[in-house]
Structure formats: C-alpha cells, structure tokens
Amino acid sequence: MADRDPNPFRRLLALPNESRTKTVLVAFLVSAISAALVSGATVMLRPIQAANRAAEAQARIEALVRGVPGMGALLDETGGTLSTLVLALEEGRAATDITPETLPAALMDSANWTALDPGADIVGLGQRPDYAQIYLLRDGTRLSLVLLPISGQGYNGRIDAILALRGDMNTVAGLAVTRHAETPGLGARIDEPGWQASWPGTELRDQGGTLRFAVARGPASSVHEVDGITGATRTSNAMTRMIRFWVGPDGYGPFLDAVRRGEF
C-alpha cells in the first residue's frame, strides 16, 4: 500500500467487495440513504395527503346528505352546512371539554379509549374511542338527520363508514364508506352506489325494540335487511356486525336513547 489514497472514501471503495468492513458499510450506507429518501417523501407529502383525506371525507358526507331525499334542499336552506358535534359516547351527551379541533389530539391519548371485552367486541377493533365527531342536520328545532362515523374490521382491513339515520333514530337514511381494503370486485362493492342504494329506508329495530338489522344473504327479504353481496360473505357479515355494534350500548346507543328522549 505504497500509494495509499488520502481520501478515506476512495480507500473504502477500493476494498474488495467481500471484505467484512465493506459489506457492513455498503449495507449501512444503502439503508441510511433509503431511510432518508423515504422519510423525506413521507414528511413532505403528509400535509397534501391529509388535506386530500379531509376533503374526501367532507365530500362524502356532503354527497351522503344530498343522496337522502329532501335533505339536499334542507341543507341549502340551512346555509349548506351541517352542525358538528363531539359526542361523549358513554354519556350520550355532547362532550364539554373537547371541540372538533382538539379531538384528533385527544384521541392520541390512550386514556380516551375504552378497551372492549372480547365478548362485546363483535367488530374486532379491540377498543373504541370515548369521543366521536358526529354531524347533525336540523329542520327547525327538530333533529332530522344524524351522521355517525362507524368502523369495524372487514375481510382485508378496517372499514370506515358513515351511517346516516333519520330523525326517528331507527330508519337508515344512507351509508357512505370512507375507507376500506376489501377485495376488488367482491367486497369492494360496499363502496358502490348501487349497493348502498339498498340502505335508505331500512329499519334497525322492530316494533318491540329488538335490533333486527342485517345484511341479507342474497336479496333483502324484510324491511330490516339490505341486499347481500354475492361472493363477499365475510364483508357482508362485517357490515352487519358493524351496524349492530355501533347502534348498540357500546356504540351510539346512549346517544340514540338521548335523542329519543328529546334531549337534542
């Protein structure tokens, strides 16, 4: 090594490829550069992605409301906006200390989540937030529509949706799926307007108050059912469980009772 290169990097490159030092260093350099590239892209593009998602959720909510007969006109009448409310699920009342702006921060705190018993956890989430942002539409003083975000484990991942209920808190006014990863062509049809069209008018409970809602196997046969999706039994069942969980006592049950008592 009479002509040792003064540049240590060149010296490194001159090492035989199979030497241990070079193997470790090449591995380290490749990972470091790749990590920097990936983190850079993620951090720089995050604001755009967040804005996209927010705009999309807003557009879906708007489309959902406009899809319900008579609601488009009502929405225009009230100035084109829905009132937003952060709900404390347990009490079924508006949360006093949390606003829609502070909700994302509050949900970062695990103290604001309730673990679900394996028996009660029919949606497979393991836990549910104590607060949820819901949307209300009033016709004068009467509550005419509520939009409830719901979620549950589907076949390939979590399904997020928004369920719209009419003022009686029993008739479905519509459903919008905001996020899913179901099988394209099969379970992913929950995203299609054609399937969602079978939801409006469906009644959750019968006269005696028993929860009867279900996604049927095949075409709906009663007022409590919506059409099933052929070839997507697991996704259909997941949707059934999702609705049943979220209108039940661990979900929006206390809130729906409060509305029926006329507290909203």
Partner 1 sequence: MARRPDLLDTLSAPLLRQNPVTLQILGICSALAVTTSLATALTMAVSLTVVLTLAAGVISAIRAHIPETIRLIVQIVIIASLVIVIDQVLQAWFAEISRALSVFVGLITTNCLVLGRTEAYARFHAPLPAMVDAFGNGLGYSLVLIVIGALRELFGKGELMGIEVLPLASSGGWYTPLSLMLLAPSAFFLLGGLVWAIRSWRPEQVEAPEFVPPARTEPAE
Using CB under 8 A as the binding rule, whether residue 140 contacts partner 1 is answered as no
Closest to 133 measured CA to CA, from 64, 87, 65, 179: 87
Tell me the window of 22-30, 143-151, 202-210, 246-254 that interacts with partner 1 (CB under 8 A).
22-30
**Tokens for 215?**
């996604």
Does 158 interact with partner 1 (rule: CB under 8 A)?
Answer: no
The 172-179 sheet, strands edge to edge: 93-94, 83-88, 131-139, 142-153, 158-166, 172-179
181 binds partner 1, rule: CB under 8 A:
yes
Q: Which of 7, 52, 58, 99 touches partner 1 by CB under 8 A? A: 52
The answer to whether residue 223 forms part of the interface with partner 1 (CB under 8 A) is no
Is the Cα dihedral 233, 238, 243, 249 positive or negative? positive
Q: Please, which residue, 80 or 231, has the CB nearer to partner 1?
A: 231
Quote the least distance from Cβ 192 to partner 1, whole Å.
Answer: 11
Q: Work out whether 45 is an interface residue with partner 1 (CB under 8 A).
A: yes
Residue with tokens 């299609």: 192
- Backbone region of residue 19 per phi and psi (left: phi > 0; alpha: psi in -120 to 50; beta: other values): beta
Where does this chain bind partner 1 (CB under 8 A)? 13, 17-18, 22-23, 26-27, 30-31, 34-35, 37-38, 41-42, 45, 48-49, 52-53, 56, 181, 184-186, 231
